[in-house]
Amino acid sequence: MRPGLLGIEALSREDIEAILTRAKDFQPHGGESFKRFDILRGRMVVNLFFEASTRTRTSFEIAAKRLGADAVSITASSSSVSKGESLVDTLNTLAAMRPDAIIMRHSASGAPHFLARHLAIPIVNAGDGTHEHPTQALLDARTILDQRPALEGLRVAIIGDIEHSRVARSNVHLLSKFGAHVVLCGPASLLPRELANLASGVTLTNDMAEAITGADVIMMLRVQLERQHEATFPAGEYFRFYGLRLEHLQLAKQDAIVMHPGPINRGRELSSEVADSQKSVILSQVENGVAVRMAVLEKILA
């Protein structure tokens, strides 16, 4: 693995397995909190977020601190970006303060890759435009593997705004590397046909019932209104055709799990009954976000 983490596509199965196995060591037991370690004592991590975040930014900060590192979080609105400073100048300024890694989220696909070519500091991609969100796919895999012995042979239905979803792309790369069958489902306006070529074992459908039938995992996606420049689907109709409701769960495997990267929009992507049901592992995903990000930071910095 190169220093930093820019995407799942470039990782090998061995890289991914090493992170997922190590993340298991960091998972808390019972009602305990995440344990403290000294593994990264003296290291400094900067979280630089140009887009809103609750889960990713907070869990990276907690992960760094639980490993003994110092962590500083900066948002674009509270930085000199709001005064017109360019991305490169902002990153060079932060690099001059000698952090050991920069965790970055940006609305432009490829922004962290561009910076990784210009800076010697490891860059971790915390979500770039519609391209990749690698630590989300890693925590999703950890969550599935907490419920299943292996990813191979699983049917994973990813449903919603596929076109704008970096979560979908990173999950397709990861799941297909491990032999899962990924079904991408959404309205035609949000499901570009070329996504079938993203990896082997990927199929596309506009029919939600078809996607869910026999599924081991149902992964719902947020409708990313901030990336839709024109209405691609009337808002009122979305839930009727692509919102997950209790009756859909009868079509999936009996022990199927429901996932969502968050933030969830109840009544648009899924009903409250489903979000709060026994099948929902949405909060386990959040918890695994800390464990997986501890494993990633340790691998990059220790």
For residue 83, give both structure tokens: 């005064």
Site string for ligand CP, 24-53 (x = CB under 6 A): -----------------------------x
C-beta of 134 vs 204, nearer to ligand CP:
134
Q: Which stretch binds ligand CP (CB under 6 A): 4-12, 185-193, 255-263, 275-283?
A: 255-263
**Rounded CA gap, 249 and 246, in Å?**
6
Which of these ranges, 93-101, 203-211, 212-220, 260-268, lies near ligand CP under the rule CB under 6 A? 260-268
Own/partner pairs, 12-21, CB within 8 angstroms, 24+ separation: 13/177, 13/178, 16/138, 16/141, 16/174, 16/177, 16/178, 18/299, 19/138, 19/292, 19/295, 19/296, 19/299, 20/138, 20/141, 20/142, 20/145, 20/292, 20/295
Least distance from ligand CP to the Cβ atom of residue 188, Å? 25
Residue 115's alpha-carbon distances to 3, 40, 100, 130, 232, in angstroms, are: 13, 24, 15, 17, 32
Query: Which residue in 173, 220, 215, 210 sits closest to 195, CA to CA?
Result: 173
Which helix (H) or strand (E) segment holds residue 157: the answer is strand 155-159
CB of 187 to ligand CP, least distance (A): 22
Cβ partners under 8 Å of residue 286, min gap 6: 55, 59, 262
* Residue whose token pair is 């979560």: 167
Span near ligand CP by CB under 6 A; candidates 10-18, 108-116, 184-192, 257-265: 257-265
Closest approach of Cβ 126 to ligand CP, in Å? 7
Which of residues 160 and 204 has its CB atom nearest to ligand CP in the complex? 160
- Considering only the stretches 83-91, 172-180, 235-243, 259-267, report the one whose residues sit in contact with ligand CP under the rule CB under 6 A: 259-267
263 lies in the binding site for ligand CP (CB under 6 A): yes
Q: Does 54 bind ligand CP (CB under 6 A)?
A: yes
**Can residue 225 be called a binding residue for ligand CP (CB under 6 A)?**
no
Name the residue nearer to ligand CP (CB basis): 20 or 167.
167
- Answer yes or no whether residue 262 interacts with ligand CP by CB under 6 A: yes
Instruction: Please report whether residue 56 would count as binding ligand CP according to CB under 6 A.
Output: yes
**Region 131-150 residues binding ligand CP, contact defined as CB under 6 A:** 136
What residues contact residue 224 under an 8 Å CB cut-off, 6+ apart?
161, 164, 165
Helix (H, G, I), strand (E, B) or coil at 115: helix
Binding positions for ligand CP, rule: CB under 6 A: 53-56, 127, 136, 261-263
